[in-house]
């Protein structure tokens, strides 16, 4: 048997691919009739997407860990592959954090009786979580409910966001900002304020570190 076939990374990836194909085949062939029929329900679809994305993210993390444990010390090629894997994982974690924040935020709103027509903003995903003064930071979030069009503003420290920039047609906010040098007493937080077409506003904040 070829050595690459017994590599734990190859086995894990093959298991994920085979499992995914089996699940898709079961749904298409009618063995699992509940999935396709339930995809039209927003609550089911949202939970399913969150579950699948969590599996992909966790699987990617497991592959990277196994790769680091089985790598030969001093192998420059494997070190480069490991760094590339970490970049992919960082991207997945950013999107996964936004999805989780929106999912649980929507669940909390529905249980607390908040009108689904009210404008809502998911928890913020900021990357990197630690940045140097005058360094760049990416802020991501998603807007739901309310009355389009949406405007948003981003600010750090003690500044107040002024919602003047339009949110994209897909309701996603993805903004790269330059973190100015903050005073010692200023909070290390980034704020996002969203205003919908009817003038209602919602705000979220997230903390970060200055290196």
- Other Cβ atoms less than 10 A from the Cβ of 116: the count is 11
Region at 171 (left for phi over 0; alpha for psi -120 to 50; beta for the rest): left
pLDDT tens for each residue of 90-99: 777 777 777 7
Query: Can you say whether the dihedral through the CA atoms of 162, 164, 165, 166 is positive or negative?
Result: positive
- Please say which residue of 54, 78, 112 terminates a domain: 112
Mark whether 20 and 80 lie in a shared domain: yes
Whether the full predicted model's pTM is greater than 0.95, yes or no, is no
- Please say which residue of 55, 82, 112 terminates a domain: 112
pLDDT tens for each residue of 76-118: 777 777 777 777 777 777 777 777 766 665 555 555 444 456 8
pLDDT at 50: 77
According to DSSP, residue 45 is labeled H
Low-confidence stretches of the chain (pLDDT < 70) are 1-9, 27, 30-43, 74, 101-117
Enclosing domain of residue 11: 3-112
Mark whether 133 and 108 lie in a shared domain: no
Mark whether 99 and 127 lie in a shared domain: no
Mark whether 104 and 7 lie in a shared domain: yes
pLDDT at 60: 80
Number of domains in the chain: 2
Mark whether 27 and 56 lie in a shared domain: yes
């Amino acid at each position: 048997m070829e050595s690459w076939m017994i590599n734990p990374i190859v086995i894990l990836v093959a298991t994920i691919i085979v499992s995914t194909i089996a699940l898709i085949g079961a749904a298409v062939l009618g063995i699992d009739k509940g999935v396709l029929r339930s995809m039209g329900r927003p609550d089911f679809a949202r939970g399913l997407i969150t579950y699948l994305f969590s599996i992909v993210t966790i699987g990617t993390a497991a592959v990277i860990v196994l790769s680091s444990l089985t790598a030969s010390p001093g192998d420059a090629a494997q070190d480069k592959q490991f760094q590339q894997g970490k970049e992919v994982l960082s991207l997945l974690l950013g999107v996964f954090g936004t999805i989780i924040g929106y999912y649980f935020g929507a669940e909390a709103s529905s249980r607390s009786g908040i009108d689904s027509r009210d404008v809502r903003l998911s928890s913020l995903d900021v990357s990197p979580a630690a940045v140097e003064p005058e360094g760049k930071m990416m802020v991501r979030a998603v807007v739901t409910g309310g009355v389009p069009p949406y405007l948003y503003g981003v600010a750090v420290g003690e500044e107040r966001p002024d919602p003047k920039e339009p949110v994209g047609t897909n309701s996603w906010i993805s903004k790269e900002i330059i973190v100015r040098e903050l005073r010692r007493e200023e909070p290390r937080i980034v704020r996002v304020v969203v205003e919908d077409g009817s003038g209602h506003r919602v705000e979220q904040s997230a903390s970060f570190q200055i290196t």
